[in-house]
Structure 1
């Protein structure tokens, strides 16, 4: 998940300057990525002839509970909550 969101920043944002945070709160992980992108903040649909690109954010949305992408003067912020992948302390 982190790799997908960071790859999107490197590929689509205005430069390599970004911030990511990962926090555990109770039984959930919260991942936030902020970039300096200049796009619309809306994922583009995948092209049916391209098997390698355009599906990352769709997969993120399937695996996590995303918050809508926030657009701000310096770029975008995407926050996702992962509730299914947090193990209880002491479990393996």
Structure 2
């Protein structure tokens, strides 16, 4: 598979009338190369838009995907990387899986430019509600959860449009 190829599998969303109750799954795999980072980031954003998630969630999602896929490219020596997105009631779960072993490349230990490197998990923790890392002999799994706001695509949790501000009682 070339680096820009994305293999994806999808389960469609259900309960279109109530966005917070929708469920959907999307997966994409690519070679663990630097050129795959923007490909998987774009895939994640496209899915978030299709699922009608807020711009804020889309921004957080693309940050999480960028950081996690970059970590695979830099640290795992895996030939490939898999991204799994799961939309559930009130939460978006992002899982990145590789088939490598975690390591720090030569020269990436203590760096003078620490402001540019080594802050990925800190950034991810700032925009997610849960971050889990599992390292095994056969690879690594990193899962991050993003809480969804009450408003998704301009709709209330019950599926009806939010009332116009001018129609709300004072």
* TM-score above 0.5, yes or no: yes
Specify every segment of 5 or more residues in structure 2 that has no aligned partner in the other structure, as ranges: 1-63, 104-108, 156-170
**Contact persistence 2:78–2:101 (CA under 8 A):** no
1:77 shift after superposition: 0.3
Equivalent residue for 1:65?
A: 129
* Cα distance change on mapping 1:15 and 1:39 into 2, 3 Å: closer
Q: Which has the larger radius of gyration?
A: 2
- Structure with greater strand percent: 1
Count residues with an aligned counterpart.
86
Equivalent residue for 2:92?
A: 29
CA RMSD of aligned residues (A): 2.4
Specify every segment of 5 or more residues in structure 1 that has no aligned partner in the other structure, as ranges: 41-45
Q: TM-score, normalised by structure 1?
A: 0.76
Query: Aligned partners of 2:131, 2:151: CA distance in 1, in Å?
Result: 24
Query: Aligned partners of 1:89, 1:67: CA distance in 2, in Å?
Result: 23
- Structure with greater helix percent: 2
Q: TM-score, normalised by structure 2?
A: 0.44
SS at 1:61's partner residue?
helix
Equivalent residue for 2:78?
A: 15
* Cα distance change on mapping 1:86 and 1:47 into 2, 3 Å: farther
* Cα distance change on mapping 1:47 and 1:81 into 2, 3 Å: same
SS at 1:18's partner residue?
strand
Structure with more relative contact order (C-alpha pairs < 8 Å, separation 6 or more):
1
Deviation >3 Å, runs of 4+: 46-49, 85-90
